[in-house]
Amino acid sequence: MTATSRPPSPPSSPSSPSSSGGRRLPADVVRGALIGSAEVVPGVSGGTLALVTGVYETLIGGAGHVVTAARYAVTGPRSQVRAELARVRWSVVVPVLVGMAAAVVVGSAVLEPVVTEHPVGSRAVFFGLVLASLVVPARMVGRWTAPLALVAAVAAVAAFLLTGLPAASEQQPSLLVVAVAAAVAICALVLPGVSGSFLLLTVGLYEPTLRAVADRDLAYVGAFALGAVVGLGSFVRVLQHLLDHHRAVTLAVMTGLMAGSLRALWPWQGEDRELATPSGDVLTVVLLALAGAALVVVLLLVEDRIQRRGASAPADPVR
């Protein structure tokens, strides 16, 4: 995605015909699986993958309609509830969500033992992922000015200090903490370039969340889901407004937050998150970080190629 471009707005009618018909179903499940996989890996943005696969506007627009329908269900008029829900492209949203859910369950089961048993190597890979991902929100800002750079710097310092706080209760977090963290992390879906898993990692809830999903901890998962729903309902309109009317400042803040939060991913850390000097097999750790960065670079190159093709091809009426 270029620095100043935005995804094309979806057409107003949710029932536009598609030349591919039912053949979109498996493709949308795969799109959802890619997005879900990205959400499990810190540093790889699910929002960016949604942009790359062409369903970003459909998902965010659908979330907005569902939030509006919920508000009408409480405050009225009730006749608007069905109208808002009818505007959601369920034929795209449902298979995408199915693919996302499957990828999150499988990814959690695979990653949880790796992160637990190899913390230094895991942080190294995540460090490379996030470091390379900084280019996404940074170039979306467009033209960087001195005030924008200052805003990003302040956000970076704040994130650096916050992520240095000891995470004493990360292994047994309260369900309230889980719900609040989920409410914040879900907003990453609205902001391409920002990883929800990375936000969980910075507050010490990444490993517990992976473990809860892998172990089918229904209480934890239920609290997380409730927080995610509340967060999306509370913030999606606000974030859409900020992106529409204060795009450069919002993205500058997110760039700074991501940069400052790299402190939490420094491979060599003590039990209370104090930073340590490199030790052990440093070369392997560096190579793992470079591998993580290379993965993001490949994804960005694919995104740029798709964007160039999309600029010269007719728009897909379903998206």
pLDDT in tens, 41-54: 765 667 767 766 77
Contact 92, 28 (CB under 8 A): yes
pTM of the model: 0.63
Look at the block and give the residue holding tokens 């047994």: 172
pLDDT (0 to 100) of residue 166: 63
Which stretches of the chain score pLDDT less than 70?
Answer: 1-23, 42-45, 48, 51-52, 165-172, 188-194, 240, 303, 306-307, 310-319
d(CA 156, CA 161): 9
**Residue 261 has what pLDDT?**
77
Strand partners, 275: 269
Q: Which position has the token pair 């240095």?
A: 164
**Amino acid 192: pLDDT:** 64
Note the pLDDT of residue 170.
Answer: 52
Nearest-angstrom CA–CA distance, 250 and 190? 12
Which residues are CB-contacts of 49 (< 8 A; sequence separation ≥ 6)? 34, 35, 37, 38, 299
3-state secondary structure the chain: CCCCCCCCCCCCCCCCCCCCHHHHHHHHHHHHHHHHHHHHCCCCCHHHHHHHHCCHHHHHHHHHHHHHHHHHHHHCCCHHHHHHHHCCCHHHHHHHHHHHHHHHHHHHHHHHHHHHHCHHHHHHHHHHHHHHHCHHHHHHHCCCCHHHHHHHHHHHHHHHHHCCCCCCCCCCCCHHHHHHHHHHHHHHHCCCCCCHHHHHHHCCCHHHHHHHHHCCCHHHHHHHHHHHHHHHHHHHHHHHHHHHHCHHHHHHHHHHHHHHHHHHHCCCECCCCCECCCCCCHHHHHHHHHHHHHHHHHHHHHHHHHHHHHHHCCCCCCC
Q: Where are the domains of the chain?
A: 24-312
CB 44 within 8 A of CB 198: no
- Angstrom distance (rounded) from CA 272 to CA 166: 5
- The answer to whether 87 and 65 have CB atoms below 8 angstroms apart is yes
* Distance between CA atoms of residues 99 and 31, nearest Å: 7
Nearest to 131 by CA among 13, 313, 303, 297: 297
Q: Identify the bridge partners of residue 269 per DSSP, sorted by sequence position.
A: 275
